Each structure stands twice: as structure tokens, then as C-alpha cells.
Amino acid sequence: MVIPLRKQATDEHHPAATLRYGAVWDAEGTSIADARHAVRALLARAGHPPGHTVSQDAQIVVSELVTNALRHAPGPGGILLELIADPAHLRITVRDSSSQGPRLLVPDPHRIGGHGLHLITRICDQFHTVRLERGKQVVAALALPR
């Protein structure tokens, strides 16, 4: 199920959220390209074109988080992108069915893979994991230039 990009009314639970995108997937997964397209389109609607650094950084973060969810967690998952107006930032939440949290590996230039979390922690202002009854949510936030 995909929730289309659209301006949403504020509510008391998310008073500063102005734009959201959400998608869920089953055991077959989702397209990482679709997730990158969604964050590109959401940021473009907020005045951050695809060529801007913040859009490119957000695409890297979304790619890494969704790839990790698909690679390490069988079963259903989902993504929620939220543009928060004040202070201006993009919150990326990826949910999956694994209770195992992401692990930051010791850097090794000879290893294939295992470098994505290093990128995420350098790009993002916030990064944390929320354990759920079934699985977890990995949350990353990027500040947006005004």
C-alpha cells in the first residue's frame, strides 16, 4: 500500500508535519528505486530539487535503510517520510520485522558492504532505533536548509 505524496492537515499528534509519504511492503519487499524517487519528489515539493545536496543525501539514507531492511529482515516492512516545518528537517522511518538493531562495523576498506551506517551517521543529525513488539523502527533525521 502506498500513501501518495500530498499536503496533509496538521493534527495534535504531529502539529508541525506538513508533507508525508508512506509505503508498506510484504515478504516480497519493495523497490529501493521507488523509495529514492519518493524522497526526491517529497523534497522537490518542499523546494529542494534533486540536484541539491540535501536531496542526494536523503536518497543515500533512504537507499541504505531500505536495503538493510530488505536484506536483514524477512517479512513485512514500511517506510514513512515526514517533512517537519519547524525546525525544518526530514525524518525517515523504516520499519522491519527483525528485532536485531543495526550494527556499526569497524571500517574495513577491503570489505564489500558494511559501510552504509557510517554514511548515515555522518549525513544525519539524528539516528536511533526503536524496538517494537515485533521488529523495530530505524529513524534518521536530516536538517533542511531554509
Domains, in order of start, for the chain: 17-143 (3.30.565.10)
Residue 28's pLDDT is what? 76
62-79 residue pLDDT tens? 999 999 999 888 779 999
Amino acid at 105: L
Lowest mean pLDDT of 11-15, 55-59, 114-118, 136-140, name the range: 11-15
Residue 56's pLDDT is what? 97
In percent, the amount of the chain with pLDDT more than 90 equals 60
C-alpha cell read off for 7: 499536503
φ and ψ of 145, to 5 deg: -70, 150
Contacts for 23 with CB less than 8 Å, ≥ 6 apart: 1, 2, 3, 30, 34, 35, 38, 78, 79
DSSP letter string over 50-119? TTSHHHHHHHHHHHHHHHHHHHH--S-EEEEEEEETTTTEEEEEEEES--PPP--PPP-TTSSS--HHHH
C-alpha cell read off for 77: 516492512
Lowest mean pLDDT of 17-21, 45-49, 118-122, name the range: 17-21
Confidence class of residue 108 from pLDDT cuts 50, 70 and 90?
Answer: confident
